[in-house]
Amino acid sequence: MEEFKFDGYRFDGVTSMLYHHHGIASSFGGGYEEYFGLGTDTEALVYLILANHMLHTFYPECITIAEDVSGMPALCRPVLEGGNGFDYRLAMSIPDQWIKLLKEVKDEDWNVGNIVWTLINRRHGEKSIAYAESHDQALVGDKTLAFWLMDKEMYTNMSKMSELTHVIDRGMALHKIVRLLTHALGGEGWLNFIGNEFGHPEWLDFPRPGNGNSFHYARRQWNVVDDSNLRYGYLNEFDAAMNKLEEQFHWLNSPQAYISCKHEDDKIIGFERANLLFIFNFHPNKSFADYRIGVHKPGKYKIVLDSDSAAFGGHGLINHSTDFFTQDFKWHDCPHSIQVVGTVAW
């Protein structure tokens, strides 16, 4: 902390430390008996408590993050409350879910209910760091989110002077809404690995004997986002707008969202958080007019972020000057509802 001026620590492999069985062959369904019994490594637990207590006592601004998939209760509560003292837990199941879907399931067959459950399945009162793709996906041997979505066409059709193919169109749209959905619903913090915000086209690979000690892939290609003739800039602009909107409304510092809609056939997800109404359409070919969404707060709603905006490489099908007024019509167990015109399928 003093020598290298770190602002915090991520404790790696916390699940393996906490239990004598190291989390192997354990499903962790949430029952307290799974966490507080003979299987718990009390020496490791005490070490983590002492480490967090020391760090937060001597460095009050320090942030500590636990890489834990078990859901150990009170892991991210202060030591003075009887907790383990971590500030955040990495929501590791979220990037695992996205990569599993991209590898194994066609996007038109994604189960929106399962997606929502994975994003909200965390302990209330304990903060989580949400992220859409892990660092492992940026390393050689796997693909980034953008690469899984668009694959080889990233080499041939990301130029604005080339045809906007269905693969690039759909891939860029999903890249934007997957990241926004994860950001807005998945936790109380957001993690991005540099370059993923603009859909970096390739992996990372450090010099090693296996690649002839080459530095060719040991870098990020900032030139692709700086080149105004390429579409990567659209993804970068959307990411900047998304983070700027969070700075304005602070949804990461707000209570968990109220999920008003997760319609499996329509592939629509709707929820309220931080005085915002988020609506996502994952349907591959179906647009909706006057789509009704339940809301708690009555009044006038306006569009503040649209992933289909032309500024973000979309089709610009929604009129941003439109005002949307709630109706005293109960819907989705909410006292009011709103009809959204022009919710588009990307």
Rounded Cα gap, residues 280 and 269, in angstroms: 5
Active site residue 109: no
The C-alpha angle 77, 178, 227, rounded to 5 degrees, equals: 115
- 67 tagged catalytic: yes
Q: Give one word for 30, left, alpha or beta, with left for phi > 0 and alpha for psi -120 to 50.
A: left
Catalytic residue among 2, 3, 7, 12: 12
Q: Which of 41, 67, 142, 153 does the annotation list as catalytic?
A: 67
CA atoms within 13 A on the CB side of 270: 22
Inter-residue contact 185 to 140 (CB < 8 Å): no
Which residue bears the tokens 């480490």?
51
Contact by Cβ (8 Å): 237, 305: no
Torsion of CA 149, 155, 157, 162, to 10 degrees: 170
Question: What are the structure tokens assigned to 258, written together?
Answer: 């109220």
Question: In the chain, which ranges are continuous DSSP H helix?
Answer: 14-18, 42-58, 93-104, 112-120, 145-150, 166-185, 223-226, 232-249
Beta carbons of 297 and 258 less than 8 angstroms apart = no
Beta bridge partners of 343: 288
**What angle separates helix 112-120 from helix 166-185, to the nearest 10 degrees?**
40
C-alpha distances out from residue 234 to 169, 240, 267, 337, Å: 12, 10, 24, 32
Mind giving me the DSSP string for 18-40? Answer: HBTTTTTT----S-GGGTSSTTB
In this structure, what DSSP letter does residue 256 have?
P
Q: Which residues are catalytic?
A: 12, 67
